[in-house]
Amino acid sequence: MKQLKFRNGDQMDAIGLGTWKSEKGEVTKAVKIALDNGYKHIDCAATYGNEAEVGEAFNEVFSRGEVKREDVWITSKLWNNAHKEEDVIPALKQTLKDLQLDYLDLYLIHWPVAFKPDVSFPEKAEDFLSLDEVPLIETWNEMVKAREQGLVKHIGVSNFSIEKLKELMEDTEHTPEMNQVELHPYLQQNKLLEFCSKHGINVTAYSPLGSGDRPEAMKAADEPSLLENPVINKIAKKHGASPGQILIKWSEQRGTAVIPKSTNEKRIKENLRSAGYQLDEDDMNEIADLDYHFRYVNGKFFEMEGNSYSNIYND
Ligand code: A2P
């Protein structure tokens, strides 16, 4: 499997296990299966509401001793209601407590959007803080502190457009080390990848399989299916792989990390084996043609009349 390199020489397995939408009752088992079957990269977030259950798996597997904490890359994310200077490190410490860890390998600002501290998910414009009230740099400076304190080894962002990255980078000498974004054949993010590569920012692809188990409220009525796409299925047949494996391999082969979510034992194992295939030039060209800038997670749920987030992605 490919490794992503960080500026200090640290390396991360390109294929990790996603935990967004993993049910509390299923995620402990899923993470244990993953770690017992060769996954060395687990992606978490406070807002997924299941970090305590993920933490149970870490505690059990690491105390058994066959898999060591230092051999696994663990990422988590700061939720949007903890962007104020005084809230960042306490939120990180809660995540560490829930995950039963002393440090994270990577901590990300989940969205370039701020809520009031008592709001988990906004329902009205008043639930937000504007970026004038909590500038991204205020949050970022605390992320830098967390790295200096050794609570996290690496820091980055998620759901940041080129514009948002530029805004942040103008204000700091500490360039983010990662940008985690939605990325799959319908949203190939070529310009963003080019920008990130130029600035030494690694990229992680979320929703690589089209995130079919998202809440109904987040789905469009006429949403396209990635797993059923005929080109993906044709290429899968050609290689004797599953469509999911082709989608995962495609991301890995392009040099990004990729974090398919599964709580199903067979698919957890199948997804890691994606690394064993190789897509040829014809496959890559055919998949390149599928791009049409379609987002499954379009950020519209953060845009409300009267708040300052009218165009989250700016692209
Ligand atoms: P399950 O957890 O039952 O395996 P994404 O990572 O894009 O958000 O997609 C996650 C969705 O894809 C989940 O519904 C998950 O279901 C399903 N899934 C995960 N791996 C595969 C696979 N290899 N083939 C088909 N569906 C998969």
The domain ranges of the chain are 3-295
pLDDT digits (tens, 9 = 90+) for 273-303: 999 999 999 999 999 999 999 999 988 889 9
Q: For the chain, give the mean pLDDT.
A: 96
Does residue 270 line the site of ligand 1, with CB under 6 A?
yes
Which tokens in the block code for residue 117?
A: 């501290």
Name the fold adopted by 3-295: TIM Barrel (3.20.20)
Beta pairing partners, 206: 182
Q: Indicate if the pLDDT at residue 311 is higher than 90.
A: no
pLDDT digits (tens, 9 = 90+) for 40-49: 999 999 999 9
Q: What is the mean pLDDT of residues 24-36?
A: 98
Q: What was the pLDDT predicted at 274?
A: 98
Does residue 185 line the site of ligand 1, with CB under 6 A?
no
Does residue 207 line the site of ligand 1, with CB under 6 A?
yes
Which tokens in the block code for residue 210?
A: 């089209």
Cα Rg, the chain, nearest whole Å: 19
Q: DSSP for 232-281, please give it.
A: HHHHHHHHT--HHHHHHHHHHHTT-EE--B---HHHHHHHHGGGG----H
Residue 287 amino acid letter: I
Q: Which residues are annotated as a binding site?
A: 110
Q: How many residues does the chain have?
A: 315
Q: Whose CA is nearest to atom 25 of ligand 1?
A: 244
Q: What was the pLDDT predicted at 240?
A: 98
Residue pair 210/243 in contact (Cβ under 8 Å)? The answer is no
Integer Cα distance of 11 and 301 in angstroms: 34
Residue among 27, 267, 272 whose CB has most ligand 1 atoms within 8 A, to mutate: 267
Integer Cα distance of 178 and 196 in angstroms: 9
pLDDT range class, residue 313, cuts 50, 70, 90: confident
Question: With the CA atoms of 17, 18, 21 and 27 taken in that order, what torsion angle do they form, in degrees rounded to the nearest 10?
Answer: 30
Alpha carbon of 288 to ligand 1 centroid (Å): 22
Which tokens in the block code for residue 2?
A: 């490919």
Alpha carbon of 246 to ligand 1 centroid (Å): 13
Q: Which residues are annotated as a binding site for substrate?
A: 110
Alpha carbon of 262 to ligand 1 centroid (Å): 5
Q: What is the mean pLDDT of residues 108-123?
A: 96
Q: pTM of the full predicted structure?
A: 0.98
Residue 93 amino acid letter: K
User: How much of the chain is in helix, strand and coil states, percent to nearest 5?
Assistant: 40, 15, 40
Residue among 213, 216, 225, 242 whose CB has most ligand 1 atoms within 8 A, to mutate: 213
- Ligand 1 nearest atom to the CA of residue 270, by list position: 23
- Whole-complex ipTM: 0.99
Q: Indicate if the pLDDT at residue 315 is higher than 80.
A: no
- Residue whose C-alpha is closest to residue 17's, from 269, 240, 190, 198: 269
pLDDT digits (tens, 9 = 90+) for 60-93: 999 999 999 999 999 999 999 999 999 999 999 9
- Residue 221 has what DSSP assignment? T
Q: Indicate if the pLDDT at residue 180 is higher than 90.
A: yes
Q: Indicate if the pLDDT at residue 248 is higher than 90.
A: yes
Which tokens in the block code for residue 101?
A: 């860890």
Q: Indicate if the pLDDT at residue 314 is higher than 80.
A: no
Give the 3-state secondary structure of residue 9.
coil
pLDDT digits (tens, 9 = 90+) for 194-247: 999 999 999 999 999 999 899 888 888 889 999 999 999 999 999 999 999 999
Residue pair 196/202 in contact (Cβ under 8 Å)? The answer is yes
Integer CA distances (angstroms), 119 to 53, 132, 250, 267, in order? 22, 18, 37, 35
Centroid of chain to Cα 47: 12
Residue pair 116/81 in contact (Cβ under 8 Å)? The answer is yes
pLDDT range class, residue 165, cuts 50, 70, 90: very high
Q: What was the pLDDT predicted at 218?
A: 86
- Note if 48 is an active site residue: yes
